[in-house]
Amino acid sequence: MTKTATQYSAKAEVSNLYVRRSFYEKAIINLKKAPITAWIGMIIVTFYFFVAIFAPFLAPYGEAQIFKVPYAPWDSVHIFGTDRLGRDIFSRLVYGARNTMGIALITTFLAFLIGVGLGLLSAILSGWVDQILARFVDILMAIPSLIFALMLLSIFGSTALNLILIIAVLDSTRVFRLSRAVGMNIVVMEYVEAAKLRGEKIGWIMSKEILPNILPPLVAEFGLRFCYVFLMIASLSFLGVGIQPPTADWGSMVRETAELIQFAAYDITAALTPILPAAAIGILTIGVNFVVDWFLYLTSGLKDEIK
């Protein structure tokens, strides 16, 4: 055995051929390869947010402004006519984007705060904490959420705050399950064990060690949850316990203009009026789903299949 002649150097060791790209560069590359559906979804979502943010500038009238003629036909003054109290439908559609999406967004954030927090706590602590939390969530999930929300709202009253709190708590159960499941996969990693051995507090382990590693599925879930929350608010409003008048919102607009549909034989535009807020709900849901689908495709291992 001869003594080694080659000089070994740790610095010169060949590491992975890997080009580190900034977030911005990665985004450009991914956007270039985005399928048409993702583009449609992104355009829809951007458009909705644009409308929601600039609602006061886009809407010709105020959301609760009442005109003399109720059920006015579609014309140049009132693009989509007026409702039974004489409020401009187009203006209410624009403000509806702001109200419905705003409340849905706040609710989803809150649901994630509760769900991810408790889910990760459950994953890290395991044992009886996990058992109690998980069984409690099972109980909540066993009750159909729309009916449960209806019941709670009629007990506590339909204020915007109650609406947000109740839906957030009910929806956080699903977020809890997801974050607990993906968190469990990370908790068993040695770097989490190393952090525990270092004596780190649970907050650090949750936020610095685990959370960055489970972000992709959580972001995707956020998109889907947003859709569900949004649909739930619309359904509750349609049933009359959601967002209360005079605040404009698409769910209650469908309810308020629903009877117009029977006039289809005389004025087709009148019949289309209740379809408008319903379509606004539907299109946004589809758009968000398109974007989430693409995002899931990007972050899951699927993209490794090259063809």
Partner 1 sequence: MKSSKQKKDLLLDIQNISIEGFSDEIWHPIIKGVNLQLYRGEVLGLIGESGAGKSTLGLAAMGFVRTGCRFTSGSINFNGKDLTKLSDKKKQQLWGTKLSYVAQSAAAAFNPAHRLINQTIESSLSHKLNIKETLQKEAVQLYKEMQLPNPDEIGERYPHQVSGGQLQRTMTAMAMSSKPDLIIFDEPTTALDVTTQVNVLATIRSIVKEHQTAAIYITHDLAVVAQMADRIQVLRYGNTVEVAKTSQMLKSPKEEYTKSLWAVRSIKKKEQKSKEIILSIENVSASYGSGPKVLQDININVPTGRTVAIVGESGSGKSTTARSITGLLPPTQGKIIFQNRILPMKLSDRTKEDLRKIQMIYQSPDTSMNPRHTVREIIGRPLSFYHGINKEKNTDKVLELLNMIELDDSFVDRLPEELSGGQKQRICIARALAAEPELIICDEVTSALDQIVQEGILKLLLKLQHELKISYIFITHDIATVKAIADEVVVMHQGLVVEQGSKKEIFSPPHPEYTKLLLSSVPEMDPNWLNKVLEN
Smallest distance from partner 1 to CB 192, Å: 8
Q: For 278, left (φ over 0), alpha (ψ -120 to 50), or beta? A: alpha
Cβ atoms of 213 and 129 closer than 8 Å = no
Stretch that binds partner 1, among 135-143, 146-154, 183-191, 270-278 (CB under 8 A): 183-191
Smallest distance from partner 1 to CB 65, Å: 51
- DSSP SS3 for 158: coil
Stretch that binds partner 1, among 1-9, 112-120, 223-231, 260-268 (CB under 8 A): 1-9
Q: Is 138 in the site for partner 1 (CB under 8 A)?
A: no
Smallest distance from partner 1 to CB 88, Å: 50
Q: Is 36 in the site for partner 1 (CB under 8 A)?
A: no
Structure tokens at 281: 């709900």
CA pair distance 271, 264, nearest whole angstrom: 5
Q: In this structure, what are the phi and psi dihedrals at residue 87, rounded to the nearest 5 degrees?
A: -95, 145
- DSSP SS3 for 161: helix
Q: Is 23 in the site for partner 1 (CB under 8 A)?
A: no
Residue closer to partner 1 by CB (options 9, 76) is 9
Q: Is 4 in the site for partner 1 (CB under 8 A)?
A: yes
Q: Is 29 in the site for partner 1 (CB under 8 A)?
A: yes
Number of residues that bind partner 1 (CB under 8 A): 36
Q: Is 266 in the site for partner 1 (CB under 8 A)?
A: no
Q: Is 128 in the site for partner 1 (CB under 8 A)?
A: no
Residue closer to partner 1 by CB (options 13, 57) is 13
Stretch that binds partner 1, among 8-16, 115-123, 162-170, 234-242 (CB under 8 A): 8-16
- DSSP SS3 for 87: strand
Residue closer to partner 1 by CB (options 153, 186) is 186
Structure tokens at 25: 């560069």
Q: What number of residues does the chain have? A: 307
Sequence-distant (≥ 6) Cβ neighbours of residue 112 within 8 angstroms: 172, 175, 218, 222, 225
**Residue closest to 260 by CA, chosen among 275, 271, 252, 276:** 271
Smallest distance from partner 1 to CB 221, Å: 19
Structure tokens at 103: 């409340």
Q: For 22, left (φ over 0), alpha (ψ -120 to 50), or beta? A: beta
Q: Is 162 in the site for partner 1 (CB under 8 A)?
A: no
Smallest distance from partner 1 to CB 188, Å: 9
Residue closer to partner 1 by CB (options 144, 212) is 212
CA pair distance 259, 261, nearest whole angstrom: 5
Q: Is 213 in the site for partner 1 (CB under 8 A)?
A: yes
Smallest distance from partner 1 to CB 195, Å: 8
- DSSP SS3 for 77: coil
Q: In this structure, what are the phi and psi dihedrals at residue 68, rounded to the nearest 5 degrees?
A: -70, -40
Q: Is 194 in the site for partner 1 (CB under 8 A)?
A: yes
Among 27, 151, 161, 189, binds partner 1 (CB under 8 A): 189
Residue ranges binding partner 1 (CB under 8 A): 1-6, 8-11, 13-20, 29, 189-191, 193-194, 196-200, 208-209, 212-213, 304-306
